[in-house]
Structure 1
Amino acid sequence: MRSEPRSGCPINAAVEALGDPWSLIVLRDVMFGDRRYFRELLGASEEGIASNVLSSRLKSLVAAGLLTRDDAIRGQRARYTLTEVGIQTLPILVALGTWGRAHRKTSPQLTIRQQLMEEGGPAMVADLMDELRWRHLGVPLPDREGPLASERLRAAYERLA
């Protein structure tokens, strides 16, 4: 992976870090599926990512500063954690999902989360980002009443599914 973008264009710089479809799918699965280990990411992939591709993408995401990799100690597996930079890709994933839902054929079952994110608007995205910071970075959750964003998404998904 290049350390410097080909040009100073912000769109180019973002595409070079995030433009690979598998990278975005891995980020999606870490964020929405709370999959933090290689085997979880490999086995639960709806899209059927190959192990060599997953390994390559995880290395790229770590090199780009979107994930960190905790070194595995004897008898334990390496765990991947979102960085703040990685967490800040959530609005990008939501925007891509909004576009995909509006302009591409999708399955109703796999579209529910996207629909719920859109209906929840910026507040849902902000709540989920706060929850990701708590889960991945140990940042305390802001005071608010009610269930976590992931719990609201899960409950709504179960109602709609």
Structure 2
Amino acid sequence: MNNNNKFSLRPLTDNDADSLARQLNNKKVWDNLRDALPYPYTSQDAAWFINFQQNDPLLTCYGIVVDGEVVGNIGFTRSEDIERFTAEVGYYIGEDYWGQGIMSAALSEAVEDYFKTTEVVRLFATPFDYNKASAKVLEKAGFTLKCIFTKGAYKNAQFVDMLYYERIK
């Protein structure tokens, strides 16, 4: 998948472990992600994740590729039971690629592909309220802010609010 030759999207492969580690072993990136992601982040962590996502039927990942290197990832985690037509979306892009419009375009493209290739009809994302860039990415990709979860997360030894965004197919 490619929208403008600036980036392309593709599944993650075993060869992407070092690239993922380079992008995720960054405190500024980690500060905007869940604590389940280890920090510091190593190539071994990345190899584990690549294997995990390749074998999890509820998880679909799109690697964001710039100049032949994976510089970010978009993941859709499908819910189960009565929420089986819903998925949570999470994403990041390496700090060197912030502010270039790549993440907004990549998320828009991945969402369209995910809606086309799955039965999911509802997506949601919950960025921290201090991550204004992530909120803009979601809005550019057609997501709507629905509510704010006050003290919805505990990150870096403090409670933070989470923004609840959704997009309907």
Q: Please report the TM-score for the alignment, with normalisation by the length of structure 2.
A: 0.33
Larger proportion of helix: 1
Q: Which has the larger radius of gyration?
A: 1
Larger proportion of strand: 2
Q: Please report the TM-score for the alignment, with normalisation by the length of structure 1.
A: 0.34
